[in-house]
Amino acid sequence: MSLLELRGVHASYSDGGQVLHGVDLTVQEGGVTALLGANGAGKTSTLRAVSGMLRRGGSLRFDGREITSLRTDEIARLGIAHVPQGRGTLTGLSALDNLRVGSARRRDRREVERDLERCLNLFPRLRQRLGSTAGNLSGGEQQMLAIARALMSRPRLLLLDEPSLGLAPKITVEVFEAIAGLRAEWSLAIVIVEQNADLALGMAQQAVVLESGRVAIAGTAAALAGNDDVRQAYLGG
Ligand SMILES: Nc1ncnc2c1ncn2[C@@H]1O[C@H](COP(=O)(O)OP(=O)(O)O)[C@@H](O)[C@H]1O
Ligand SMILES: [Mg+2]
């Protein structure tokens, strides 16, 4: 069964017009769906629609349950964690406190400590930086921290909005290797928005290309990666 299913989703910002016009998107249990498209296509808005951050309609189902009218906190509690574009760490808190915020709702303290250890194994750089204020971490470390904080809530679905944005190529590789690793270890489903389409398609099974708030192309990641027309029109050759 698919874990997340969007059918005909439309959405608008309270201060603006409609930005999504009937988006369909599916994420399989434990699978990765890449969400691609030019700047302004509606990728971030799609993730925000899923996590309840903007006014939306149509059908959004998570684990078979309609979530279209749920609030952000209710959606988070169902196991959807959103790592926003621009990372969204709590810059005034230490890295460790950011991770504690991630697990704040959990009561399984022993498992939380185990997950903390797993996060630090996944992102060894963070181990040395636990006491540092998040705002003082490098861009790459902040991205790792944002992902680790999301993991600390033990989500079933991770929404990643441009994790490589602004990172040096070497750090991007490190972050993507960790994402690939966490998928295997945490049996998570992921929606990944990424400008680097090859990176995203390399780890995804399904892919959706948005254009002006609509689905332009959808299919398997392999089909999209191998289609020359798709590459030229949407993926920069
Ligand atoms: N906070 C906002 N208020 C009003 N309109 C917005 C807001 N954020 C984005 N938009 C508009 O929504 C559309 C889609 O933007 P976005 O989802 O951020 O695209 P992408 O992530 O693909 O670059 C754009 O036309 C953008 O101008
Ligand atoms: Mg965006």
Residue 114, φ and ψ in degrees, nearest 5: -65, -40
Residue 2 has pLDDT above 80, yes or no: yes
What domains can you pick out in the chain, each with its CATH number?
Answer: 1-79+156-172+187-237 (3.40.50.300), 91-154 (no CATH)
Q: Give dist(CA 65, CA 56) in Å, integer.
A: 16
Six-digit token string for 137 = 């971490």
How far apart CA 214 and CA 23 sit, in angstroms, is 6
Q: Are 25 and 46 in contact (CB under 8 A)?
A: yes
- Whether 18 is in the pocket of ligand 1, judged by its Cβ within 6 Å, is no
CB contact at 8 A, 136 and 92? no
Q: Which residue's C-alpha comes closest to atom 18 of ligand 1?
A: 44
- Does 155 sit in the ligand 1 pocket, CB within 6 Å? no
Encoded amino acid at 220, one letter: T
CA 122 distance to own-chain centroid? 17
Q: Name the average pLDDT for the chain.
A: 93
Nearest Cα residue to atom 25 of ligand 1:
40
Helix (H) or strand (E) holding 103: none
pLDDT of residue 235: 67
Q: Is the CB of 15 under 6 A from ligand 1?
A: yes
Helix axes 139-151, 169-186, angle to 10 degrees: 10
User: Does residue 234 surpass a pLDDT of 90?
Assistant: no
What's residue 237's pLDDT? 57
pLDDT at 83: 96
Tell me: pLDDT of 221 over 90: yes
Tell me the percentage of the chain whose pLDDT exceeds 90: 84
CB-ligand 1 contact for 35 (6 Å cutoff): no
Cβ–ligand 1 distance for 41 under 6 Å, the answer yes
List, edge to edge, every strand of the sheet that includes 55-62.
18-28, 2-12, 55-62, 65-66
Percent of the chain with pLDDT over 70: 98
Predicted confidence band of residue 16 (pLDDT cuts 50, 70, 90)? confident
Could you tell me the distance, in angstroms and rounded to a whole number, from the CA of residue 43 to the centre of ligand 2?
5
Which ligand sits closest to the CA of 210?
1
Characterize the bridge pairing of strands 55-62 and 189-193: unpaired
The string of pLDDT tens digits covering residues 135-184 is 999 999 999 999 999 999 999 999 999 999 989 999 999 999 999 988 87
Segments in 16-128 forming alpha helices (H): 43-50, 72-78, 95-102, 109-122, 124-127
Task: Give me ligand 1 centre to Cα 162, in Å.
Answer: 14
Q: Is 44 in the pocket of ligand 1 (CB under 6 A)?
A: yes
Rounded to the nearest angstrom, the distance between the alpha carbon of 70 and the centre of ligand 1 is 22
The confidence score (pLDDT) of residue 211 equals 95
Torsion-angle region of 157 (φ positive above 0: left; ψ -120 to 50: alpha; else: beta): beta
What is the Å distance from ligand 2's center to 161 Cα?
Answer: 7
Ligand 2 centroid to Cα of residue 135, in Å, is: 22
